[in-house]
Amino acid sequence: MSVTHARAEPSIAGVGDYLELMKPRVMSLVVFTALVGLLIAPGHVHPVIGATALLCIAVGAGAAGALNMWYDADIDARMGRTAARPIPAGRLAPGEALAFGLTLAVGSVVVLGLLVNVVAAALLAGTIAFYVVVYTMWLKRLTPQNIVIGGAAGALPPAIGWAAATGSLAFEPVILFLIIFFWTPPHFWALSLFRCADYARAGIPMLPVVAGERETRRQILLYALILAPLGAAPWLLGYAGARYGVVALVAGAAMIAFALRLRAEAPDATANKHAASKRLFGFSILYLFLLFAMLLVDHTAAVLAGHLA
Amino acid sequence: MTTTDAIMTDANDGAKAEPKPQPGIRLTDAQLRARRARSIAIALALGVLAVLFYIVTLVKGPGVLVRPL
Q: How far apart are CA A281 and CA A188, in angstroms?
A: 8
- pLDDT, tens digit, for every residue of A62-92? 999 999 999 999 999 999 889 999 999 999 9
Given a cut of 90, whether residue B14 has pLDDT beyond it is: no
pLDDT at A34 over 80: yes
pLDDT above 80 (res A191): yes
Name the pLDDT band for A164 (thresholds 50, 70, 90): very high
The yes-or-no verdict on residue B65 having pLDDT over 80 is no
At the second CATH level, the architecture of A17-169 is Orthogonal Bundle (1.10)
Is pLDDT above 70 for A210?
A: yes
Confidence check on the interface: ipTM exceeds 0.95, yes or no: no
Residue ranges covered by each domain of chain A: 17-169, 170-309
Tell me the residues of chain A between 35 and 64 that have a Cβ less than 8 Å away from chain B.
Answer: 46, 48-49, 52, 55
Q: How confident is the model at residue B26 (pLDDT cuts 50, 70, 90)?
A: confident
Task: Write out chain B in H/E/C secondary structure.
Answer: CCHHHHHHHHHHHHHHCCCCCCCCCCCCHHHHHHHHHHHHHHHHHHHHHHHHHHHHHHHHHHHHHCCCC
Distance from CA of B1 to the nearest CA of A (A): 42
Mean of pLDDT over chain A: 93
Q: A118-149: per-residue pLDDT in tens?
A: 999 999 999 999 999 999 999 999 999 999 99
Asked if A24 reaches chain B (Cβ–Cβ under 8 Å), the answer is no
pLDDT at A22 over 50: yes
Which region, left, alpha or beta, applies to residue A203 given φ > 0 means left and ψ of -120 to 50 means alpha?
Answer: left
Q: Is the pLDDT of residue B8 over 50?
A: no
Residue B43 near chain A (CB below 8 Å) = no
Percent of chain A exceeding pLDDT 90 equals 86
pLDDT of residue B1: 46
What residues does each domain of chain B span?
26-59
pLDDT higher for A39 or B14?
A39
Size of interface A-B (CB pairs under 8 A): 46
Tell me the chain B residues in contact with residue A119 when contact means C-beta distances shorter than 8 Å: 69
In the predicted model, what is the mean pLDDT of residues A200-229? 95
CB A243 within 8 A of CB A301: yes
Q: Do A12 and B25 touch (CB under 8 A)?
A: no
For residue B14, count CB atoms less than 10 angstroms from its CB and return exposed for 0-12, middle for 13-18, buried for 19 or more: exposed
Could you tell me if B9 lies within 8 Å of chain A, comparing CB atoms? no
Nearest chain A Cα distance for residue B67, angstroms: 6
State in Å, rounded, how far the first CA of chain A is from the last one: 81
Q: pTM value? A: 0.89
Please determine, for residue B6, whether its predicted confidence score (pLDDT) is greater than 60: no
Q: What is d(CA A87, CA A11) in angstroms, rounded to the nearest whole number?
A: 12
Looking at the complex, report in whole angstroms how far the Cα of residue A124 sits from the nearest Cα belonging to chain B.
15
- How high is the pLDDT of residue A12? 86
